[in-house]
Amino acid sequence: MIGQTISHYRLLEKLGEGGMGVVYKAEDTKLKRTVALKFLPPELTRDKSAKTRFIHEAQAASALQHHNICTIHEIDETKDGRLFICMDCYDGETLKDKITKGPLPVKEAIDIALQVTEGLSEAHEAGIVHRDIKPGNILVTRKGVVKIVDFGLAKLAGMTKVTRTGTTVGTVAYMSPEQAGGGELDARSDIFSLGVVLYELLSGHLPFPGDHDAAVLYGIVHNEPEPLSKYRSDVPDRLLSVIGRALEKDPNRRYLSASDFKADLETIRGTLIGPDRLHAPGISDGKRPRFVNRRVLILAVLAVVVGSIGTFLFTRTKTPRTTGLDHALSVVDFTNLVDPDDPTISPGITGLVRVGLIESSPVRVISPEYLYDVRRRLFNTTRGPIEAGEALEIARKAGATMLLSGQIGTSGGEEYALWQLVDVGSGKSVASQRARGKNVMELADRIVSDALAVITNESGLAAEASPSVAVLATVSPEAYRYYVVGVLAREESKPVEAVRALEQAVQIDTTFALALVALSKALRDTGEVTSSRDYAEKAWRLRKHLGVKDRLTLEAWIQATVSEKYQEAFATYEEILTRWPDDREVLEHLVDGYLFFNRFPDVLAITKRGLALYPDDKLFALNYQY
């Protein structure tokens, strides 16, 4: 089939084959992107059950939108009746390939398992059990992002069985005891399978070996695994206990959810990484501790010394590079040549460009809040866009290696942008181009696409496939303008005006998830807690329209303010900071959360990190001194 064109996909090479499908790398000739196509084997096409199960795979997986789950684009059928699904094609390797090279370092194994638990949490919340978690179905991209693939054996909760009664579906060595016995499965079966995977990642051995399937199945049901300490001595005792709990024969004695599994892994990772990295230890009794507003107490006692503390910290603290990566990108405000009196044009186009680059760039995009704070300290300027003459010095101080800036104007009824990418070290222009578009979304897409090609070439890193910014924001320029007005009003501490503008945005486009998130936060500012929760939940139902960072931020916001799963919120906020460590709002949320629970060592750790980035921030300074 190599070289054939099916629908609008040209098959390039065969990637793999399994019991439920053959996978090919293909070119999407319409969208000019590389995808993977999975075909039902010809001999199974006549099997109605297999065909139905294959359709369920596509339906189940396409309903899941999460950065740790393989993205499914569509399901289609060839002229001769063969079904196939189109999914993202990732540059990386499976855990199966990784394991052949030997056991993994403890930290790496934990990080991989953590990402798998995140993807499983998303699936389980949607009522979907994977049923075939194994190293071959877990892929790690070149950027270290874990992707769970092949929901071919997934079963929607409550759905009529497609598999024939008395048969098992899944790879024998990674089956749970209840799966091995042909029983009913739920999320806990996936947890057992992940426990097997984690055991193998650390030891290089399966916990239930055997010379044939029957022996393996017997061991899963009746035998205890060899102690991990037999194979290596550097696995923490706490991690041994966690794996032991995941591998309990009785599902009721296992972790009840992937989120619980994740929480314990987070705690262990935190202790391995050290005190300067946040972790979210669990609350042992599961109860909500008594609230003591330490922040109010601190503000009252120490307000008189704020000025001197701020001055002292500014002079003694150097602004560090905020990432361990080799590259960071500073995107500064595009100069507004369209209508200098319209304050929404510059932040509007700049915001969309950031959304697109955060989603697709292999280079970390520095947060605008950090750039504005650096600008304030360098030039004593607190309002308005960053000027062209300030941009390079701000980028250097912020630790950027590349700087993207530009101008936006109109010509011939179309908007255009002149953008340039600068090497911050030398101060020399790397590239500059003109982009055009009928509206701000088209213009932003062109800027992102053209700039991304240069960024990937300069950094030597591969970019992720990115949808149009209209998918990550809105197709309506009018709705987007109201959104920008609302965001600016909230930044200026005008919550009522922010609510009014954001309500207009979501009335115009009811699927505008970014505006729903902003409206939820603005309503929270005004004290309308119930409405804030309602809009947060609406945004969550539309999370497929959010980029990965915005989706994580929304997840943490809901965990903290809607479901009150504070431990999970802390872990999600921590994950955001590992990828975008200079996000001021996330740092502040963590400070407030830890204060709420009287977790003063964590308050100290997070305020220390906050002060390294924002050295005269009053909130961080007061809590650090306390």
DSSP secondary structure letter of residue 30: T
pLDDT tens digits for 609-618?
Answer: 989 999 888 7
Number of H helices, E strands in the chain: 25, 17
User: Which residues lie below 8 Å from residue 211, measured CB to CB, with a gap of 6+?
Assistant: none
Helix (H) or strand (E) holding 611: helix 600-613
Residues 120 and 230 in one domain: yes
Cβ atoms within 10 Å, residue 3? 8
Residues 439 and 330 in one domain: yes
pTM: 0.51
Segment 464-489 mean pLDDT: 89
pLDDT tens digits for 403-434?
Answer: 999 999 887 777 888 999 999 988 888 898 88
Segment 145-165 mean pLDDT: 56
Tell me: pLDDT of 156 over 70: no
Give the pair of three-digit tokens for residue 540: 């969550």
* H-helix segments, 63-162: 95-99, 106-125
User: Which residues lie below 8 Å from residue 173, measured CB to CB, with a gap of 6+?
Assistant: 134, 196, 206, 208, 216
* Burial state string for 133-150 with b = 16 or more CB within 10 A and e = fewer than 16: bbbbbbbbeeeebbbbbb
DSSP secondary structure letter of residue 494: -
Segment 91-114 mean pLDDT: 92
| CA gap 159, 123 in Å, rounded | 15
The residue ranking higher by pLDDT, 544 or 53, is: 544
User: Which of 32, 55, 88 lies at the terminal end of a domain, its last residue?
Assistant: 88
Query: What pLDDT does residue 61 have?
Result: 66
Lowest mean pLDDT among 265-274, 352-361, 438-447, 573-582: 265-274
Looking up tokens 């213009």, which residue turns up?
A: 443
The residue ranking higher by pLDDT, 435 or 561, is: 435
Task: Specify the long-range contacts of residues 423-432, CB closer than 8 Å, at least 24 apart.
Answer: 423/458, 424/330, 424/392, 424/395, 424/396, 424/400, 425/401, 427/392, 430/402, 430/454, 430/458
Query: Does residue 329 belong to any structural domain of this protein?
Result: yes
Query: What pLDDT does residue 298 have?
Result: 37
* % residues pLDDT > 70 (the chain): 84
Cβ atoms within 10 Å, residue 432? 13
HSE-CB at 488 with a 13 A cutoff on CA atoms is 18
Segment 394-399 mean pLDDT: 93
Query: What pLDDT does residue 323 have?
Result: 36
pLDDT tens digits for 27-38?
Answer: 988 888 899 998
Q: Which residues constitute the domain of residue 12?
A: 5-88
pLDDT band at 152 (very low <50, low <70, confident <90, very high): low
User: Under DSSP, is residue 135 helix (H, G, I), strand (E, B) or coil?
Assistant: helix
Query: Does residue 17 belong to any structural domain of this protein?
Result: yes
Lowest mean pLDDT among 285-289, 443-447, 483-487: 285-289
Residues 118 and 145 in one domain: yes
pLDDT band at 282 (very low <50, low <70, confident <90, very high): very low
Query: Does residue 398 belong to any structural domain of this protein?
Result: yes
Segment 219-228 mean pLDDT: 91
The residue ranking higher by pLDDT, 621 or 570, is: 570
Residues 359 and 387 in one domain: yes
Query: Does residue 130 belong to any structural domain of this protein?
Result: yes
* Burial state string for 156-172 with b = 16 or more CB within 10 A and e = fewer than 16: eeeeeebbeeeebbbbb
Lowest mean pLDDT among 184-193, 310-319, 489-498: 310-319
**Most confident option among 47-56, 148-157, 198-207, 617-626:** 198-207
Query: Does residue 539 belong to any structural domain of this protein?
Result: no
Query: What pLDDT does residue 394 have?
Result: 94
Query: What pLDDT does residue 595 have?
Result: 85
Lowest mean pLDDT among 71-80, 450-459, 587-596: 71-80
Residues 135 and 213 in one domain: yes
Query: What pLDDT does residue 593 have?
Result: 87
Residues 267 and 162 in one domain: yes
pLDDT band at 175 (very low <50, low <70, confident <90, very high): very high
CATH number at residue 18: 3.30.200.20
Task: Specify the long-range contacts of residues 260-264, CB closer than 8 Å, at least 24 apart.
Answer: 261/117, 261/191, 261/194, 262/114, 262/117, 262/118, 262/121, 262/568, 262/571, 263/567, 263/568, 263/571, 264/238
The residue ranking higher by pLDDT, 155 or 122, is: 122
| CA gap 298, 292 in Å, rounded | 12
Residues 109 and 252 in one domain: yes
HSE-CB at 159 with a 13 A cutoff on CA atoms is 20
Query: What pLDDT does residue 62 have?
Result: 73
CATH number at residue 136: 1.10.510.10
pLDDT band at 480 (very low <50, low <70, confident <90, very high): very high
Q: Which of 163, 159, 190 is nearest to 174 (CA)?
A: 190
Residues 71 and 203 in one domain: no
User: Which of 255, 273, 291 lies at the terminal end of a domain, its last residue?
Assistant: 273
| CA gap 252, 250 in Å, rounded | 5
Residues 146 and 259 in one domain: yes
Query: What pLDDT does residue 181 have?
Result: 82
CATH number at residue 352: 3.40.50.10070
User: Which of 88, 117, 135 lies at the terminal end of a domain, its last residue?
Assistant: 88
**Most confident option among 190-194, 474-478, 604-608:** 190-194
Query: What pLDDT does residue 54 have?
Result: 64
The residue ranking higher by pLDDT, 274 or 624, is: 624
Residues 200 and 223 in one domain: yes
What are the φ and ψ backbone dihedral angles of 10, each rounded to 5 degrees?
-100, 120
Residues 264 and 135 in one domain: yes
Query: Chain centroid to CA 505: how far?
Result: 25
pLDDT band at 499 (very low <50, low <70, confident <90, very high): very high
Tell me: pLDDT of 540 over 70: yes
pLDDT tens digits for 38-85?
Answer: 887 776 666 677 667 667 666 766 777 788 888 888 888 888 878 888
Tell me the pLDDT of the chain averaged across its residues.
82
Query: Does residue 371 belong to any structural domain of this protein?
Result: yes
Query: Does residue 453 belong to any structural domain of this protein?
Result: yes
Structural domains in the chain (count): 3
Query: Does residue 568 belong to any structural domain of this protein?
Result: no
Give catalytic residue positions.
132
Residues 347 and 435 in one domain: yes
Residue 10 forms beta bridges with which residues?
Answer: 5, 27
Radius of gyration (C-alpha) of the chain in whole angstroms: 26
Q: Which of 419, 381, 380 is nearest to 403 (CA)?
A: 419
Segment 444-456 mean pLDDT: 91
